[in-house]
Structure 1
C-alpha cells in the first residue's frame, strides 16, 4: 500500500489527517527496519518518530520524492546509524554492526511451511554477514528493486547480485544439510 500523490499534496499543505495516514502506512515497516539496527524497541520507536518529525518539518519537499518507501528507508537507516554512532561511538558504519535483526519471514503459504521451518530460515538469515544480510533483507523481505537498493546503499547493482547470490548459497548450504 503506497502513499498516493493526493496524500502527498495534502501533506505538503499541512493536512494532519493525511499525514496520520502516511505515518500509519509506513510506520510498521520502518519500525522493523530500524529495529534491525538498534535492537531495542523503545529506541526503534524513537528513531521512527524522529524520521516522521523530519518528514513533517520538511513536508514541502515531499512532492519531489519519486520512491517514497525507499527514501524513508534511507532516512531511517541514516537516523539509526546516527543514533548508534552517538550512543556507541566505536560503531562507525553498518559493516561494524554485528547483529542486524531481520524481521521474521512470513510465508503466504503458512499452512505449507511449518513454524519450525520458518524459524530455521530466519535463524539461517541471521547468520549471514552484516552487509549481505542487509542487502538480502531489503531485496527479498522488503521487496525493494535492486536498483533502489544500490542507490540507497551507494553500491552497484552487480554488488547487489553478488550479495544475493552469496546469501542464497549460504542459506541453501545450511538448510540442505
Structure 2
C-alpha cells in the first residue's frame, strides 16, 4: 500500500478505515469476546502509530497488522494465564491464610511486572533465567539440562539481568 504524501497519522487513519472490520472479526474469532477484540484492535493501531513508518513503506498492510495483532494476542493470553494461576493459588489457600486486599494488590502488581519483564526475554533466555532463579539450579546443571555450554548459560543470564535492569531503570525514570 502506497500513500505517498500522507502523514503517518493520515496513513494510519486510512489503514484503520480499510482494515478495522476484518481485523476486529479476526480478533473476535480468537478471543471470543467483542470488548477484548475491540481493545486489541485499537492497541494494534496504536502500536502501528508508534512505528513511525515512512509514507509508502507499508506494502502488505494486512500481514503487518496481523503480525502486530498476533503479538498482542500472545501478550493477552499470557496475562490471562498469569491471572488464572494467581486466582487458582488464592482459591487453594485456606481462608485463614488468605492475604489482605492490600497484600493481594501488591502481589498482583508484582506478578504483572515480573510477567512484563520476562516477556521481554527470548524463550531460551527466559527458560535459563527461570531455571536459575526459580528452580535454583546451578549454571552447570542448566547447561546439562538444556544441552548448552556453561558459557552460553552465563551469557543468557547476563542478557536476562541486562534486560531486567534496563526495564526497571526505565520505569524508575518514568519512560
**For the superposition of Structure 1 and Structure 2, which TM-score range results when normalised by the shorter chain?**
0.3 to 0.5
Give me the TM-score of the superposition, normalised by structure 1.
0.41
TM-score, length basis structure 2: 0.42
Larger of the two Rg values belongs to structure: 2
Q: Which has the higher helix share?
A: 2
